[in-house]
Chain A
């Protein structure tokens, strides 16, 4: 084998060994995969006037849910999200809503209004730098990320198997009828019982999150 052949062989070998970034990501996520650590964040402003850092989260299970006030898929799922907050109310579980878009109606003042109107019973923070959203590859709203006690990602995707949108006449329409599989609730229950989650990833459905491009 001549030198060129050796270099080519070395290159091919390196490519085979080094994980390609695309392969590292999840089935429906271009950036991260299950098992990834929770990205750190600090002092993100919340609708209740406080700020939140990842180091403040002491609960056993943390659910980050990406939201956008303007989005009919968020509005349609708001009642179910609030119900989630009620059903898993515990000092072991923490839900944090995150808004990332730079549209006026997705920024903090609008978030405050929306949180009050929808009855949000969890901390709702604004990620203006978009760093948290980017780190999680969060591109749709609503999209759920569950982290276990070691702050490893154990689930990402839908709340349940029938995404709902709020129609212009105010009615809520479940795309697949009444939901029958409750991924987030079931996974949280499993984690609290010391068990593995049953479903790790689903295809989140909703409005796209818009990131500033260079």
Chain B
């Protein structure tokens, strides 16, 4: 029950974030001026840096030497939105350790409303870690990342090798928040 309440609260807060308090068909509502105003008036603003797939590979190389946790998400992906706060919590928890958190947004790069909402969401979440936007046609981005769906969390070891590929690809073994926690702990214990 407690979990249900928490999830409910999250959905509610996200709903408000995407402006559905006023719109019955929330997720189809235009981002509108509210989002722009919100982002401008926020004390801290998240940035969303576009990267091509090749540039993304270089970003990963630049992060070698620590555990790297990559959260792949999009504003059109409700489970991603619901899971994101856990990633922010983990980033705070491991702030003093050799773990870098990074988000990679897979929204449609040409859809201004979605990009504005993504920035607003990251700002509201206080996602104070590098936030990237995949600068590719979205279906091609999935292909290049060898992704079937999101949410997905890729966790790299300090040597840069992909150690955990947490996805929902298998209906009988979709990853949970606990899997992310366990993977990080295991990699930290080993390094």
Contact = CB atoms under 8 A, between A and B. Distances in A.
Contacts of A140: 148-149
Contact of B168 (A166, A168, A210): A210
Contacts of A175: 108, 137-139
Interface class of chain B by DSSP: loop
Contact of B77 (A28, A137, A163, A208): A208
Nearest to B178: A213
B79 interface: yes
B171 A209 contact: yes
A168 B169 contact: no
Contacts of B29: 168
Interface string B98-134: 0000000000101101100100000000000000000
A205 B171 contact: no
B15 to A, nearest CB: 11
Interface string A163-195: 101111110010110000000000000000000
Given A175-B137, A213-B176, A70 B78 contact: yes
A165 B142 CA distance: 15
B171 A203 contact: no
A103 B76 contact: no
Contacts of A170: 28
B76 A210 contact: no
B31 interface: yes
A34 B29 CA distance: 40
Interface in A45-97: 70-73, 75
B170 interface: yes
B157 interface: no
Name which of B108, B143, B168 has the most chain A CB atoms within 10 A of its CB: B168
Given A103-B78, A137-B170, A207 B143 contact: no
B4 to A, nearest CB: 11
B108 A167 contact: yes
B139 A28 contact: no
B139 A163 contact: yes
Contacts of A99: none
A209 B113 CA distance: 25
B77 A139 contact: no
Contacts of A111: none
Nearest to B110: A173
Interface in B150-178: 150-151, 168-174, 176
Scoring B114, B138, B171 by chain A CB atoms within 10 A of each residue's CB, the highest score goes to: B171
A163 B113 CA distance: 19
A30 B176 CA distance: 18
A31 interface: yes
A173 B111 contact: yes
A30 B169 contact: yes
A206 B174 CA distance: 16
B113 A167 contact: yes
A45 B148 CA distance: 29
Contact of A213 (B76, B114, B151, B174): B174
Give the top 5 A-B pairs by smallest Cβ distance, nearest first. A208-B149, A30-B170, A211-B171, A134-B171, A168-B113
Given A30-B170, A168-B117, A210-B174, 14 more contacts: A28-B148, A30-B171, A70-B27, A103-B78, A138-B171, A139-B168, A139-B169, A163-B139, A167-B114, A168-B30, A173-B110, A173-B111, A175-B139, A207-B149
8 contacts: A70-B78, A71-B76, A138-B171, A139-B168, A167-B114, A207-B77, A208-B77, A213-B176
Interface of A: 28, 30-31, 70-73, 75, 103, 130, 133-134, 137-140, 163, 165-170, 173, 175-176, 203-211, 213
Interface of B: 27-31, 76-79, 108, 110-111, 113-114, 117, 137-139, 142-143, 148-151, 168-174, 176
